[in-house]
Chain A
Amino acid sequence: AQSVTQPDIHITVSEGASLELRCNYSYGATPYLFWYVQSPGQGLQLLLKYFSGDTLVQGIKGFEAEFKRSQSSFNLRKPSVHWSDAAEYFCAVGNNAGNMLTFGGGTRLMVKP
C-alpha cells in the first residue's frame, strides 16, 4: 500500500527566509508525486508534480521539489518565502496512472513578518 509522511505538522519561517517542507513516501513502483497547497476555506491547488525524468521539478509560485529515490523523499523548497505563502501544504503519491492519490497529513506554514 502507498503512504506519505509529512513529519512537520507546523513550520514557522520569517518572510524572506528559505523554506523546505519534508515528504517521505512509500510505494512499490516508480511513484507519481505531487505537492498541493490549500488556503483556508479553499480547495487544493497543484504546485508541482513528478512523474519521471529530471529529479528536480519546478512549480508555480517559485516552488521546486527534488525527488530522491534512495531516500524515498520529495521535499518542497522555496528560496524566499512571501507572506502570501502561509497555507497548508500536502504531499501526495499516486499510483501508476497518477490516480488514487494518497495524501500526507499536511504541513501548516506560518510566515512571520
Chain B
Amino acid sequence: DAGVIQSPRHEVTEMGQEVTLRCKPISGHDYLFWYRQTMMRGLELLIYFNNNVPIDDSGMPEDRFSAKMPNASFSTLKIQPSEPRDSAVYFCASGVGEAFFGQGTRLTVV
C-alpha cells in the first residue's frame, strides 16, 4: 500500500479564495482524521470520520472549514473563504489505535 496520500503537497492561495485539500486513506482503514499543525498551536485534531461518517468535528475552527468523506477512499477538507491565519500544514491520517499519517499539505494564504 502506498500509505495515506495527500494532495497537493503545497498550496499557495490568495486570501478569500476557496481551498480544497484532498486525502486518500489506506485501504481498509475505517477511521480518517484531519489534523492541522502550526508553530503556535502544534498539532490539532480538526475532525474525524468512522466509516465515512463524521464523528467529531469539534476541532473545526470556524464555519469556513468543512470536511467530507463521500466514500471510503476519499476525503476533502475545504476552506472557504481562506484567510492568512489558515496558513499551516494540514495532515490526513487513517487507521485506529495507530494512526498512519500522510505527508501533509503546506497551505500558505497570502
Footprint of B on A, CB under 8 Å?
A: 32, 34, 36, 41-46, 49, 51, 90, 94, 97-106
Which of chain B's residues have a CB closer than 8 A to the CB of A51?
97
Beta-carbon contact of B103 and A99 below 8 Å: no
Which of chain A's residues have a CB closer than 8 A to the CB of B102?
43
Beta-carbon contact of B98 and A97 below 8 Å: no
B32 to nearest A CB, angstroms? 11
Q: With A43-B91, A44-B91 as known contacts, state yes or no: A100 contacts B45, CB within 8 Å.
A: yes
Q: With A43-B103, A43-B104, A44-B91 as known contacts, state yes or no: A103 contacts B42, CB within 8 Å.
A: yes
12 further A-B contacts with Cβ under 8 Å, apart from A101-B33, A102-B45, are A41-B103, A43-B4, A43-B103, A44-B43, A44-B91, A44-B99, A94-B97, A98-B96, A98-B98, A99-B48, A99-B55, A100-B45
B30 to nearest A CB, angstroms? 10
Tell me the complex Cα distance, A99–B95, Å.
9
3 closest cross-chain pairs (CB), A and B: A98-B97, A43-B101, A103-B43
The reply to whether the CB of B34 lies closer than 8 angstroms to some CB of chain A is no
